[in-house]
Chains A and B, each alone.
Chain A
């Protein structure tokens, strides 16, 4: 790792300020992606802004939604009885990210801000019609994710929390990459009174995306048969040494079926 400076921010505005006064500062949340990258010397930030002391942890029931602080660890979400009751699928998703040690350190905000195309959380934010709360504004999920590793976040913006709408029913099905255990395909299906949202991660070249064909099929008939009736195209899907686009397309269908029937 190149040498760097660490600033411990006490609140998000201090964090933003520190970013502003650095040349190429980076927010350090759980560090599960950032630290391995730094160890490989694949980035050379002059400053890391540690936001663990910004008071951004915690889970709140907001009636029709659940609001989770950006620095809430995956393990805390997985073990939260509030989340388990309100959106069990979200607790399941958090409990399946990485491994136990990653869940003990990794955070919701870090995962969402990074928007790794194979991360689990972005699919939940998208399928649960989430809102990303930053120090400046609220951003709807559909506006937040801008393609692989890209988000609507601006330089002077830090995620403070994410809200997830409570669905009638939801399920996340992940087919992990056998080596890295990231999602090779992850499908989050959420049924709301006004329709079904299906978000797919791990598969799209542009990162997480909503699958409109599956959504409309499931909105009119929430069943496995409805999924079978949808031809999942491999256009725009990733192809790598682990899985071709065709195979990913097949997995999207299969994981969706499993999510629907669970």
Chain B
């Protein structure tokens, strides 16, 4: 069917966005609305000696001014904790909604000024006097791990010290190895930068003692849960959270931030709707950042170049407060992926998470998996170079063979299915790998260094099953819910707890309905993003929407079909067991009896001829789906670059990606997700870096200094897929949202090293800016001259 599973259906949601009719949080206004402006700390680390809000409170248009002392509810909570190596628990220091006694990063909210207009709020905030007693800034992991104190009573300034794997076996492998390949890499700190800045509009309803919060969230139900149960301690029914159209998330909009909570809290105090919208610099300062690891890697090889062990010691910079999933990212989303798609018998990893006086760090597209893939694909490449093997063949030699599935890794995961060589082969074919050397020599005639870099990755999507997540320290479930309501006229309303902020759920999910019920896409309406209109949900992150939320819809559809069959059986006077449903029609096997889906729908709501004694009327079903396992997308990306040695500029001349996402519902949308992911990965590898000075000032706090990938920084991409369907969900689907961002950084860095290896360059840090590359060339040339 042209609109069902597997079809590149054009997106249903496009029209509103293309005509300017999208409705984002800042587009919404409420009668009597006032504006909030947050006064933020200019210093990275200080005790607050005093705050004087008197003049600000008296300023024109000011409705209220609040500081941390005024707020009587708790702040953001931690959604995942892990045990320390010594058995003690993760240290979870409090994170007040507005700073209390101390500020811990530049941008920490110190006071909120609420006024009739935004300009008035800003002007008044200039009158708030804050006296700080400055303390030393702690910016890098070296300082953070050397006796800094950011949270009172937190030993060694460490949030956690976690381990996974078999240390003894790994160290034994390292000792017995015929070669140990060593590498230290830094995964640069990134700022997610969805194009829509965060915003909130909170309104209190006096009559019902309830709140409505419009917010830029990837997970409105989680926001409701955190606000109601953990901050305000009121029934969840008293808070409605609406995440309308949301302009991108990439992780940064998963969490509950202080601004939305403060606006919600204050809306009751002043009994007026309060709006807050971040400007871009506030977004840079306060949206949770991503990555920022230092990894020490040791890879053990036997004499046949087979990997026999891997040890990774990681330091993670988590910033001034522990963000919701900050603990999960460098631990269970990182350590468990260290086997990659390789057969590695022994792995051990230790991760220490430190506090610094920088913006809190949390999940950003890929969240832990890009870090794992980066270090692994870098050390694999170095190993291939050291043993003198082709980079692709070295990988092939060490891949988990296709007959080894399900494969139990040395780091807790069980991969259900996979076949890695076809994707590698296809990517190599797409980029014409075998003729690369002739392209390299042609480029060298033009004075350019040409290189090719491979990255084979695996990731784990859809954080579940809940029981496992819970056992590992997760404090939320890993399920998703869906309900499917068939209207009397046969149109369908699907509600989901997943949230679309660019992913095209309205289209993809409708395709599942079309496939299963045989109704056209246009008859399917998707409801999401409003906690009052959809059942409880978990939101969208970790490439889970389809693999968990989509499967929940499929399960609800199965229930609808099952019930429909009973109704159809009644209508056709047959036994339900004999009824078949296909392409929107019910038939009775062995007869020519048939009835259309629409007739069954009508009968369900106008039950004049209906088995009321055994079946309830109506046709609406809800399903909760909790997966049995993660899904494991995998694949190979190959980048080809040319380096201009005179300037260090890297030009990406070709890109081939071959991914295994299992079954595809909408290949067009999947491809778009891959493109976007690759672009963000290229951004990390070449352009982006959150740069703090030694005083903890973020020097890249606007697009003047933080380098966002633009159209002319990127090439077009060749994207194809292989398919080993997921074995444990009904749709055979995996996740695709993060793959590009996971696979691409090492492909690019490996390509640059490959290009410059004739000069003796063997390492390259991210971002590989022109100067970084130029310096590497200069240093290599200087070494060669010695």
Contact = CB atoms under 8 A, between A and B. Distances in A.
Direct contact of A and B (CB under 8 A): yes
Nearest to A243: B771
Interface string A224-255: 00000000000000000111100100110010
B733 to A, nearest CB: 37
A110 B769 CA distance: 31
Given A2-B119, A180-B703, A247-B774, 16 more contacts: A3-B119, A178-B713, A178-B770, A179-B704, A179-B705, A179-B706, A179-B707, A241-B699, A241-B705, A242-B771, A244-B771, A247-B770, A247-B771, A250-B646, A251-B647, A254-B646
A179 B646 contact: no
Interface string A164-180: 00000000000100111
Contacts of B699: 241
B707 A178 contact: yes
At the interface, is chain B mostly helix, strand, loop or mixed? Answer: loop
A159 B700 CA distance: 34
Interface string B275-316: 000000000000000000000000000000000000000000
15 contacts: A2-B119, A2-B123, A178-B687, A178-B707, A178-B770, A179-B687, A179-B704, A179-B705, A179-B708, A241-B691, A241-B699, A242-B771, A247-B770, A250-B646, A254-B646
A254 B706 contact: no
B119 A1 contact: yes
B696 to A, nearest CB: 15
Contact of B647 (A2, A41, A254): A254
Nearest to B771: A247
B647 A242 contact: no
A241 B700 contact: yes
Contacts of A175: 647
Interface of A: 1-3, 41, 175, 178-180, 241-244, 247, 250-251, 254
Nearest to A41: B122
Contacts of B708: 179
A180 B647 contact: no
Contacts of A241: 691, 699-700, 705
Nearest to B709: A178
Nearest 10 interchain pairs by C-beta = A179-B707, A180-B704, A247-B771, A178-B707, A254-B646, A241-B691, A179-B705, A243-B771, A241-B699, A254-B647
Interface of B: 119, 122-123, 646-647, 687, 691, 699-700, 703-708, 713, 769-771, 774-775
B731 to A, nearest CB: 41
B119 A242 contact: no
A250 B704 contact: no
Contact of A178 (B123, B646, B769, B774): B769
B339 to A, nearest CB: 36
Contacts of A244: 771
Nearest to A181: B710
Given A1-B119, A175-B647, A250 B706 contact: no
Contacts of A251: 647
Contacts of B646: 250, 254
Nearest to B700: A241
Contacts of A247: 770-771, 774-775
A3 B713 CA distance: 39
Nearest to B687: A178
Contact of B774 (A2, A180, A250): A250
Nearest to B774: A247
A164 B770 CA distance: 33
B236 to A, nearest CB: 40
A250 B774 CA distance: 10
Contacts of A179: 687, 700, 703-708
Contacts of A2: 119, 123
A111 to B, nearest CB: 16
A244 B699 CA distance: 15
A96 to B, nearest CB: 12
A2 B775 CA distance: 45
Contacts of B713: 178
B189 to A, nearest CB: 13
A227 to B, nearest CB: 12
Contacts of A242: 705, 769, 771
A243 B691 CA distance: 13
